[in-house]
Homo-oligomer: A and B are copies of this chain.
């Protein structure tokens, strides 16, 4: 959508009735941003982006009212959960309204097998309820567990802590059903199941507003946080692979991270870690700890920290292990050294991974997340990059691709460029139905905005509807 006439925000607002609205520019700016600033590229492109106002529905009916009004007046609507996305996904590129779903927080229903919650429910709160009721918890969660919403995770996330056992959101069976509101003259409330889920999940809210999500549960445990030390990153990744292949040891998290990242960036854990030590961050089921500590010793790793043997004081002081992993590794790095950035990669096997490590050395300290990908244990990469120029960043991406490693570019705000670099016909077709005016999160689905874009061109796509101030 390219904006032609000025938006009639006042008319849009009048039709909202008593639904809470915020238009204080400072507060609106706050709620127009996510963690886009991880990327120096997105920071440059999106720093000026802001909405005109923030709408905070209290009920699903409020969502329906808001979308009907937006459709009537052609006002762009960008949904937002907690705004912890990393690619500017939740940023209103064409202004208009941010639809803040943080007010819809109810756990609607749960059993030992599944939980259904409203979109704005925070992931850790959902698990608290299901653990109390059933001793069960969700299969996996992003490391932003304590802040992110289930709607934002389904619409913008991929996987996380637990993906070593269960794969990620893209894997069939990991989302049971969604309730979605369309953006039409009379918005429909759709119950979406089966393969239709793939049309709406990970669509950045471009083709419908998720108001409820149902996901499967598994056994909940008091996971033990473990840090294991190794002399080299090669030893750490080998151990991580080997322990990931142990079917009898239940681990929820396995992340090898190259020295000096753990010592330098994990400030509160620093006393446990030598500067030259590469670390594998783990979470283990209590009943796996005996086996894990033997296996670790056998593989010549050093037990640096285990939460089941930590002092009261350390337990109070230290963040949970998962907040050292996934994109929290990068976050902790950025706090110490704001000049770094990162990549999202995938390494098919240990040999390829070691080759990339050798090629890039300390310019790109390696960080992997062990995950299951279509039934196989693979190295998902979130390496730190010591940023110099955008050109060099592109070169590092090319080095990966030339060596047969996938790159999911986190320096792009579109679905396609951050993903598999092709459009998803199912998502596009569903957008035609659910958002005929194209006002849901404009600028994020290239297939909609520019069906002829050539992904092989090697050029980044730039949304022509991007608010002009500063967009270059």
Contacts and interface: CB of A to CB of B under 8 A. Distances in A.
Contacts of A172: 246, 248-249, 291, 294-295
A183 B353 CA distance: 51
Count of chain copies: 2
A9 interface: no
Contacts of A176: 287, 290
Interface in A260-298: 285-288, 290-292, 294-295
A147 interface: no
Given A135-B135, A285-B113, A294-B195, A173 B221 contact: no
Nearest to A195: B294
A432 to B, nearest CB: 23
Contact of A113 (B112, B173, B287): B287
Interface stretch (A334-342, A373-381, A398-406, A433-441): A373-381
A286 B113 contact: yes
A136 interface: yes
A205 interface: no
Contacts of A431: none
A41 to B, nearest CB: 32
B219 A112 contact: yes
Contact of A112 (B135, B195, B217, B372): B135
Nearest to A245: B375
A166 interface: yes
Main DSSP-derived SS at the A contact region: mixed
A288 B173 CA distance: 6
Interface in A347-374: 372-374
Contact of A247 (B219, B295, B375): B375
B216 A290 contact: no
Contact of A134 (B135, B216, B244): B135
A171 interface: yes
Contact of A219 (B195, B219, B294): B219
A193 interface: yes
Contacts of A217: 219, 287
A114 interface: yes
Nearest to A373: B247
B247 A166 contact: yes
A114 B288 CA distance: 10
A114 B193 CA distance: 35
B171 A246 contact: yes
Which of A114, A195, A217 has most B Cβ within 10 Å? A195
A248 B194 CA distance: 13
20 contacts: A112-B135, A112-B219, A112-B221, A113-B285, A113-B287, A135-B135, A135-B136, A166-B248, A167-B248, A171-B247, A172-B246, A173-B246, A173-B291, A193-B290, A194-B291, A216-B250, A217-B219, A218-B250, A247-B375, A376-B376
Interface of A: 112-114, 134-136, 165-167, 171-174, 176, 193-195, 216-219, 221, 244-250, 285-288, 290-292, 294-295, 372-377
